[in-house]
Amino acid sequence: MPRAIFASLPALALACTLVACAKQETPPEPVRPVKLARVSVGETRAMAVFAGEVKPRHESELGFRIAGKLVARSVDVGARVRKGEALARLDPSDVALQAQAAKAAVAAAETEYQFAKAEFERYENLHELKFVSASALDQKRNLMNANRAKLEQAHAQREVAQNQAGYATLVADVDGVVTAVSAEVGQVVSAGQPVVRLARAEEREVAIAVPENRIDELKGARGLGVVLWAHPDKVYPAKVREIAPAVDAATRTFAVRVSILAPEAAVQWGMTANVVLQGEAGSLTALVPSTAIYHASDGRPAVWIYDPAKRTVSLRAVTLGGFREEGALVASGLANGEWIVAAGAHKLREGQAVTPWEGDGAPSPAAPAAPRA
């Protein structure tokens, strides 16, 4: 047996050598899925975008007209209020006592005036009968007039005291929304100190800052629109309402307010919005996704062109016309209706076979018809 084993060793070695030298087949390269976009060449307009914040046009700080201790506050931030609705209330003890004191002063002044008036009437009758002199009658007349003035003064002071008592309740002067609260229950506030901030709900606008070298571009814009970051598919028509007469010393920008002409419920205060300016018409260009731009080895911009018949891609140099938030402008190098790779361009090579990715409704060219037998 050992002699037979040793005799078979050369045959086994030869078999292993032949297996090792056999040609290994390379596995086929997987077909890479790519997201495609169709080229649409058309006339574009110069556009500018300014970021801003949605703000109410009318917003006011409301406070008490008298000082006192805050004992109640019936609204919070975000509350919608109607005109005349109570927002907060001060301790009414002191102002109520002042109103009572003013009312008592009116009663006292009324009594003194009625007594002085009766005295004058008696002296007037006595003067007609020649029992008193004219100077005594004038003295009573002056006393009556003085008491009448005191009564009018007491009436005015009572009105002031009653108004002061009414000022202990802070009410909304217009319909609106509470956007800020500056005082809490138990706090002692002074006259005029802001307690709540009320914004009117009927008008909304976007506050933006425009550089001084682009203010003329804003004034000469042919169209103006507002796009919310939360709802980028909706464009709201707008117009410039106000441009600050002087540039800000720190930022060197002009404060501009842009009114939204037809705001919807989706436009909420504090949202971030873009003000889009549309300028004059430009040349024929194609707007492609920014991810479709590929830089070749020489640094020139290019895009991958998809051939629906061969289902392969080829690199083509293009000329860029600028970048926008929604994509890149290609001035030359693309034809209308061509298909380009919109995503995954940095992982492709010349002539590589690909397949269109059709997920989430992504566009793709129709497959070519099979040849007839």
Structure confidence by residue, pLDDT tens digits, 311-322: 888 988 888 877
CB atoms within 10 A of CB 72: 13
How many angstroms separate the CA atoms of 306 and 346, rounded?
14
List the chain domain ranges. Answer: 32-47+283-361, 49-58+202-266, 60-91+168-201, 93-167
Comparing 60-91+168-201 with 93-167, is the CATH topology the same? no
| Residue pair 221/279 in contact by the 8 Å Cβ criterion | yes
Sequence-distant (6+) residues with CB within 8 A of 51 are 208, 272, 273, 274, 275
How many angstroms separate the CA atoms of 327 and 340, rounded?
14
pLDDT of residue 372: 45
| Residue pair 232/51 in contact by the 8 Å Cβ criterion | no
pLDDT of residue 363: 67
- Which fold, 93-167? Helix Hairpins (1.10.287)
Provide the residue count of the chain.
373
CA-wise closest residue to 53 among 174, 172, 176, 179: 179
| Residue pair 81/110 in contact by the 8 Å Cβ criterion | no
How many angstroms separate the CA atoms of 286 and 36, rounded?
15
For residue 211, give both structure tokens: 């550089």
Distances (CA, A) of 280 to 6, 98, 222: 93, 69, 7
CA-wise closest residue to 50 among 183, 193, 225: 225
Residue found under tokens 């919807």 = 264
Which residues does residue 211 pair with via DSSP β-bridges, in sequence order? 253
What is this structure's pTM?
Answer: 0.54
Structure confidence by residue, pLDDT tens digits, 41-72: 876 665 678 899 998 888 889 999 999 999 99
- Point out the residues of the chain with pLDDT beneath 50: 1, 5-6, 18-20, 22, 368-373
- Which fold, 60-91+168-201? OB fold (Dihydrolipoamide Acetyltransferase, E2P) (2.40.50)
| Residue pair 321/41 in contact by the 8 Å Cβ criterion | no
Sequence-distant (6+) residues with CB within 8 A of 225 are 235, 236, 237, 238, 275, 276, 278
Domain 32-47+283-361 of CATH type 3.40.50.11890: no
For residue 184, give both structure tokens: 């809490």
Pairing verdict, β 223-228 and 204-211: unpaired
What Rg, from alpha-carbon coordinates, does the chain have?
Answer: 43
Q: If residue 144 lies in a helix (H) or strand (E), which one and from where to where?
A: helix 134-166
Distances (CA, A) of 241 to 103, 257, 260: 51, 6, 10
Assign domain 49-58+202-266 to its CATH superfamily: Efflux pump adaptor protein, beta barrel domain (2.40.30.170)
For residue 46, give both structure tokens: 């110069």
CB atoms within 10 A of CB 175: 15
Which residues does residue 343 pair with via DSSP β-bridges, in sequence order? 35
**Helix orientation angle between 93-128 and 134-166, rounded to the nearest 10 degrees:** 160
